Chain A
């Protein structure tokens, strides 16, 4: 199957201090598909995800080598405006991070950052993206109430609306449903499926069934190494690497050098 590439990682090495977290990763992320990054805890999933929008460089003592190309452009190039890059990437965190302001202001925050001042345009954006995140009906009467009063599930949908409101091309999700109840999680999942026609989506998840439900493409990391990657059917039906096979079937992964 042929995929158009949106994000291309080339020989990416990341370490925190002396601890190596990602080891020479090279991978292409397909355009307008859902890619799931899976693997056991501590294998570098989130690190890989955060390297796409350069949030990684905020970590203390991190060193990043190698290239990440987004739309063919090296994001670590000094000419790249990091704010533009990040605007291209909506990010959903493990726990929803609402900003300390009203529901309305949370969604309007992004557009405002990028220079939209017109009240009408902001109103439209807020209602449009809240509808897009299927939150509008629940909050339309209390838009100016603090966002922190929403339930966790609602907060995550608010974060989705906020992320979409900057009109990104890519949605990055760092286990975006892990803190949510099953019903809220399902709503987020359905929304992501719905959005994949228009956005490239990269999800970190440790839930295999979620990866299988949502993803078109799987990246399996183990101890900072890219072990296996491929279309979802191939990966789950016919994993080539013994580690991937063990992980899928829920067995302990035998270290190859043990």
Chain B
């Protein structure tokens, strides 16, 4: 065999091994988390852990419900803000704005996507926390004294603040991907619609968005999994109060990633503590994987239909 073909063979095998290696990391993480969290699952059962909000490690009670609820609250709020903002911004960039504006804005968005979460957390502490504490919360509690605005947490470190900070973090991801997808809709398809006498908005709504829907969905899913797993920024502004299931936008929350980051490695002397925290990690992992699978499944089906 001559060396050219040998090199070709080696290159192929090497890349194959690298690919397998990366795949197996995902697999190993899942297996590792499962094995390490098995003790608590054996002791308490998954239902006890998921549906109890009693977190008393010293008494051997490891209810994760409050943390799960915190994660759900924060993620939901961030999505409610980021999805419409992100899609409309992407639409503006791809459909309406001048080419030069787009070329100016897109790199800025990429920079936003790359900024370290700590900086977002810090920014949230110095701007969003006071904003929520001094303006949004007094206004809401004064004008809408009902769910989900009632709270006795007047610190500004709360679900809403975390949601806003997360939304800002997730926005660049959604905008960047959605803009890419929208720009990928062929110009001739817009032309076909416009040639029938459609207005710009009719074309965007009826054709461009329809064609881009799977991609926009993917953008949202990716944003969602980022928001779901985001740790640092949320930890800094969410309040992180124990034993509380948030019942209001202004209640503090203690999302799962924050729990893991805050406590893992600290209270390891307590029996089963690490198993409980790793179970939380396993849940995060599984849900993120699930999001992606469901996302791509729906994506695939939409593409078949389009």
Contact = CB atoms under 8 A, between A and B. Distances in A.
A159 B192 contact: yes
A97 B189 CA distance: 6
A58 B306 CA distance: 26
Contacts of A146: 305-306
Contact of A97 (B99, B188, B198, B202): B188
Interface string A89-103: 111010101011100
Interface extent on B, as a size class?
20 to 34
Q: Secondary structure at chain B's binding surface: helix, strand, loop or mixed?
A: helix
A86 B196 CA distance: 6
A55 B193 contact: no
B210 interface: yes
Contact of B191 (A84, A89, A93, A101): A93
Given A60-B99, A100-B306, A93 B197 contact: no
B145 interface: no
Contacts of B267: none
B192 A83 contact: no
Given A109-B193, A146-B305, A146-B306, A101 B188 contact: no
Contact of B195 (A55, A95, A100): A55
Contacts, number: 67
A100 B198 contact: no
Interface extent on A, as a size class?
20 to 34
Contact of A113 (B186, B188, B197): B197
Contact of B306 (A53, A110, A148, A166): A148
26 contacts: A53-B195, A55-B191, A55-B195, A58-B191, A85-B197, A86-B194, A86-B196, A86-B197, A89-B195, A97-B186, A97-B188, A97-B192, A99-B189, A99-B207, A100-B210, A100-B306, A101-B210, A109-B196, A110-B196, A113-B197, A113-B206, A146-B305, A146-B306, A162-B196, A163-B195, A166-B196
Given A58-B187, A91-B191, A100-B210, 15 more contacts: A84-B197, A86-B194, A86-B196, A86-B197, A89-B195, A90-B196, A99-B193, A99-B206, A99-B207, A100-B306, A109-B196, A109-B206, A110-B196, A146-B305, A148-B306
